[in-house]
């Protein structure tokens, strides 16, 4: 996974260097970025034109949702999970580690928000994600001294994927876990039963098939 992330980041940098951000995002785009915190994407804007851009610079409140049938994906797409036996573990720097079943996470107070996923240089999906904030989960577990980051990880094995986020982004809901997209349960290729939604982060940080939430005291080298 680190090799793929490195490749994508280098490719994005090369694209910018070669001037692939010309057109509506040349001098005008640079001026907007210099003058405002975020660029409000017009509703008529083509989602594919967002591919070379950084999601943390974009305000997509006017952007239509991408139909689920048009969603694209990268990375592992074939992991199978049985909802009846699936469990998500809460561990690390917590006072009371525990596990949650699929039914239990769906019973948590819901969090639903439109968030843009950009896989740089490849595709962009603007979805309506429904899931839950990890704030209540971590408060139930009880944070121990030194807790500063949260690692979200997929199933153990040769293809395991994970990413570490600042705890402030997790507690604020900027980073949350989703079990639905566009009003439907997550399709398997998009991370069923649970995946990361990380507003302002690139798609390679949106870990799929999350079954472990680990509180740690060190940052990730890929931290946004």
Q: What percent of the chain has pLDDT over 90?
A: 75
pLDDT value at 35 more than 90: no
Domains and CATH numbers, the chain: 65-216 (3.90.420.10)
pLDDT at 175: 99
Confidence band (pLDDT; 50, 70, 90) for 9?
very low
DSSP per position, 129-190:
EEEE-SHHHHHHH-BPTT--EEEEE--SSTT--EEEEEHHHHHHTSEEEEEEETTEEPPGGG
**pLDDT per residue as tens digits for the range 79-121:** 999 999 999 999 999 999 999 999 999 999 999 999 999 999 9
Query: What does pLDDT average to over the chain?
Result: 86
What are the structure tokens assigned to 65, written together?
Answer: 């949702």
């Amino acid at each position: 996974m680190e090799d793929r992330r490195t490749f994508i980041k280098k490719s994005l940098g090369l694209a910018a260097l070669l001037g692939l951000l010309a057109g509506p995002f040349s001098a005008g785009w640079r001026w907007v970025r210099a003058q405002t915190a975020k660029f409000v994407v017009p509703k008529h804007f083509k989602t594919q034109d967002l591919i070379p851009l950084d999601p943390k610079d974009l305000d997509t409140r006017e952007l239509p949702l991408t139909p689920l049938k048009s969603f694209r994906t990268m990375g592992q797409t074939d992991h199978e999970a049985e909802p009846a036996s699936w469990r998500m573990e809460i561990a690390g720097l917590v006072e009371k580690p525990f596990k949650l079943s699929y039914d239990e996470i769906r019973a948590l107070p819901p969090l639903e928000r439109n968030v843009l996923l950009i896989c740089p240089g490849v595709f962009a999906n603007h979805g309506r994600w429904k899931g839950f904030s990890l704030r209540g989960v971590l408060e139930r577990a009880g944070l121990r001294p030194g807790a500063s980051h949260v690692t979200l990880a997929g199933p153990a094995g040769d293809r395991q994927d994970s990413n570490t986020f600042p705890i402030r982004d997790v507690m604020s809901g900027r980073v949350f876990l989703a079990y639905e997209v566009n009003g439907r349960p997550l399709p398997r290729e998009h991370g069923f039963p649970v995946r990361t939604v990380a507003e302002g982060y690139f798609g390679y940080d949106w870990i799929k098939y999350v079954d472990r939430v680990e509180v740690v005291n060190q940052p990730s080298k890929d931290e946004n």
